[in-house]
Amino acid sequence: MSDGMGDEKISILTERVLSRFKGREIDPKEVSKRLKLLIYEFKVPEEEAVRTVTNYLMKEFDITREEVAESPIRTISEITRAGEWVSVKAKVMQLWDAESPNLSQVGLAGDPTGIIKFVIWAKSRKPEVKEGKSYLFKNVVTDSFRGRMQINVNRNSDIIELDEDISLPPREIELIGALVAIQQNSGFIQRCSLCNRVLKKGVCAVHGKVEGYDDLRIKGVIDDGANYYEVILNQENIKALTGIGIEEAREIASEKLDREFVLAELKKRLLGYYFKIYGSKGSRYFLVRDIEFLSADIVSEANTILSEIDGLVKTAREETAEEGI
């Protein structure tokens, strides 16, 4: 029944079955024989034949499904349900004290999509993981504890140290501060249509005199009272704050016959005002996801709260002084 092609197919499928039983004494001929029988004699579809032979071997050698499962690699954000077998590439961020002798290690691990708690059971007998190192947590079980997901490392899991450095999610923070400066090359700018660099008088630093396209942006400095942050506001940010988008900017520029008037208008509407900004700290810039005006109400409210706190602190100090503590 079988020709050369068929034999090759059988040997590939045999390899596939055996790859899930590494370290076990299983005769490849036995596996091939069963696959051939199922596929050629009983006309069972290949996938089903593989499954059938795998199940037979599990029963024969008393192996659990978990031990032979190849768990799919998931990002942390994809882990949303308890009780699934997955593999996760993540960096160990923190190690906590393992409160129970049943636990070997407990901590937090992260990848670019999120952070998750991991639990390594003492019974799993795994080598210890270290803070700052990246690992493939292979065949781990997802679990949910008090509404938060975690991954559990058991004796069927593997922890493999990776050479690559898994990056962590950018931490988004809220910044409240005043826009104290708007830098050069802000406003109604033109960009090189080849490389998107900002043109200076129609000239790209790389491509020379080129066709440009219009854009709006602000390179600014935010002062939150403690630090200065460089921020870049894009077209959408600017339109949302001032109502001036590309079309409005073109109107202003053509009416005044000068693109610089757009920048003057933007400065009038933004410079010196307080903003609430959501985003993450990059190496140089604060990366803005969303920005809104801090309303005058909120500013005065904040001042009221601050002076109230000030008052409370003073009262507390006075009381402490009176009690002679």
Which residues of this chain interact with Zn ion, rule CB under 5 A? 192, 194-195, 197, 204, 206-207
Q: Decide: residue 76, CB within 10 A, 0-12 exposed, 13-18 middle, 19+ buried.
A: buried
Name the β-bridge partners of 207. Answer: none
What minimum distance in Å lies between the beta carbon of 204 and Zn ion? 3
- Whichever of 89 and 217 has its CB closer to Zn ion, that residue is 217
Residue among 58, 118, 65, 112 nearest 87 (CA)? 118
Distance (Å, rounded) from C-alpha 154 to C-alpha 142?
Answer: 11
Q: In the block, which residue shows the tokens 């053509």?
A: 254
What minimum distance in Å lies between the beta carbon of 210 and Zn ion? 6
- Whichever of 37 and 195 has its CB closer to Zn ion, that residue is 195
What minimum distance in Å lies between the beta carbon of 302 and Zn ion? 44
Number of residue whose CB is nearest Zn ion: 192
- Whichever of 205 and 309 has its CB closer to Zn ion, that residue is 205
* Pairing label, strands 274-281, 285-293: antiparallel
What minimum distance in Å lies between the beta carbon of 185 and Zn ion? 14
What minimum distance in Å lies between the beta carbon of 164 and Zn ion? 33
Residue 324 DSSP one-character state? T
- The answer to whether 116 and 108 have CB atoms below 8 angstroms apart is yes
Residue among 47, 55, 42 nearest 12 (CA)? 47
| The amino acid at 108 | L
- Whichever of 176 and 210 has its CB closer to Zn ion, that residue is 210
- Whichever of 73 and 195 has its CB closer to Zn ion, that residue is 195
